[in-house]
A = this chain, B = another copy of it.
Amino acid sequence: MSVVPKPLQHIVPLQQKLAPVLSVLERLELIEAITSRQVGHNDLVDSLTHKQNVAEVLNRLGELQSPEIAHLIEMLPQTLRFFVWDLLKVELAAEVLSELQDSVVEDVLEKTSPDRLLSILSHVEPEELAELADDLKQEDLQKALQQAISQLAADERDWIRQSRSYEEDQIGDLMSMDKLTIFGTISVQDAIKELQNIEEWPDQTDKIFVINATNRLLGELPLSTLLRRQGSRLITDVMENDCIIFLDSDPIEKAITAFEHYDLVSAPVVNARGRLIGRLTVESVMDYQMERAEDKALARDGLSVDFDLFGPILEGARQRWAWLAINLITAFAASRCISLFESTITQLVALATLMPIVASIGGNTGNQTIALIIRGLVLDQITSSNLRYLVMKELAISLLNGLLWGSVLGSAAALLYQNITLGLVMASATTLTLLFAAGFGILVPLTMHKMGRDPALGSSVILTFCTDSMGFLLFLGLASLLLVK
């Protein structure tokens, strides 16, 4: 017997999928016209030529799935973004909404008319409404959300209330209400029959949760077990009960580690009384972890993962004020160390030229140490018993590298300015600065960690202040002792 399958679906890169829409938007100079605001939004929609263009855009949008439309909206400049958003039918808009990053959600909803907003929200899933209620800051949007929530069924409203009661880093905040459950007292074949009647299964269902009449979790039943067991046996006899469960109040950290270590696809979440209340999936756990990793990478530059690359300009400027102000203050403070030695510099101006080099490689070395320590903390590798070895090792590395590169720098300075003492000052200041940098690089993140703060946020600013100040002080201090009278 010959089998003629339909062609299997290869993945098409996103940019390739979006290219047709982008090219329509571009070719018709919509981008041009809208972003430069020469033509108002309404004029544009009303003119005949543009009606055809709109039709073509609509046509192209029809070929995309909601995550792809969300991606498109995220990468469009302000006005064009809202133009596309406004073209979407409310059902589709509701789907797209759940795929958009938070800052863009706020950006598009803000400009949506109240009526359309309400009708979009009425198509949004309860879980998504709960999330929006947590994230949206604007008052009008919150009101619309509350109205949409009040129109839900009682159990959905309850679920939203409960899910909103968790902290952002608690498992309860990440769990989903979708799950398959069966009673432990039925037979395998009855369970299979029951499962066959369920029209749509939740995504990433690899197991069924077994409960008793009071909704207490008894165990879990992997689909593979269900397939392999005799039909007449009781569920409680074939289920696994040394399964991994989570408490709703547990930190999400715990779930991340467990999903990684035990290669879980899904896991049950219970409350303090052992009642099954939700489910965690590998998808949600990994999404959370990726977002957190991105968050930390961006936090190093004083940015939040929630920025909007194509959002409004003033918003973008404001988001960076705090960081600029902090850096300005620390740079100003570090420069005060230089001012102590202004008379020394006047006598030997080469010092002004060379001092930023010492400060700069001090900062680099210290930041390397910080990165190592933070990773060690994240991986839970640092304890009081190995800390001593770690400190010794980092200091030894810095001493080695300080002597090596300090000599290189010192020789360069001595040659350049025909001044051997200047070379010696440069070499010793570099070595000492690197030692201090390693010390600060361990001390700063560990202290922040001990104080219960995330060392990924701000360690680098504090360190750069320390290494800049020490670099300037050591170099100029040694110079004023050895070089000028």
Contact = CB atoms under 8 A, between A and B. Distances in A.
A364 B290 contact: no
Contact of A328 (B9, B245, B357, B372): B357
A367 to B, nearest CB: 5
Contacts of A354: 335
Nearest to A81: B386
Interface string A312-334: 01101100110111011001101
Nearest to A206: B206
Interface stretch (A155-163, A343-351, A443-451): A343-351
Nearest to A31: B385
A372 B241 contact: no
Given A5-B241, A8-B242, A227 B196 contact: yes
A63 interface: no
Q: State the copy count for this chain.
A: 2
A335 B317 contact: no
A71 B359 CA distance: 36
B320 A397 contact: yes
Contact of A254 (B11, B67, B224, B342): B11
A82 to B, nearest CB: 14
Contact of A334 (B349, B356, B379, B382): B356
B389 A35 contact: yes
Given A241-B6, A245-B8, A265-B206, A356 B390 contact: no
Contacts of A166: none
A71 B3 contact: no
Contact of A219 (B8, B286, B301, B401): B8
A419 interface: no
A352 to B, nearest CB: 4
A77 interface: yes
Interface stretch (A49-57, A115-123, A302-310): A302-310
A271 interface: no
Interface in A176-225: 184-185, 192, 195-196, 201, 203-206, 212, 217-219, 223-224
B332 A357 contact: yes
A409 interface: yes
A1 interface: yes
Contacts of A13: 254, 257
Interface in A23-56: 25-26, 31, 35
A342 B350 contact: yes
Contacts of A401: 317, 320-321, 324
A390 B287 CA distance: 27
Contacts of A294: 293, 375
Contact of A331 (B192, B301, B360): B360
A331 B361 contact: yes
A84 interface: no
A414 interface: no
A323 B366 CA distance: 12
Contacts of A342: 349-350, 352-353
A75 B386 contact: yes
17 contacts: A9-B243, A9-B245, A13-B257, A71-B381, A75-B381, A195-B227, A206-B206, A294-B375, A307-B372, A316-B397, A317-B397, A323-B364, A324-B361, A332-B409, A342-B353, A346-B346, A356-B359
Q: Which 3 A-B pairs have the closest CB atoms?
A: A352-B352, A75-B381, A77-B389
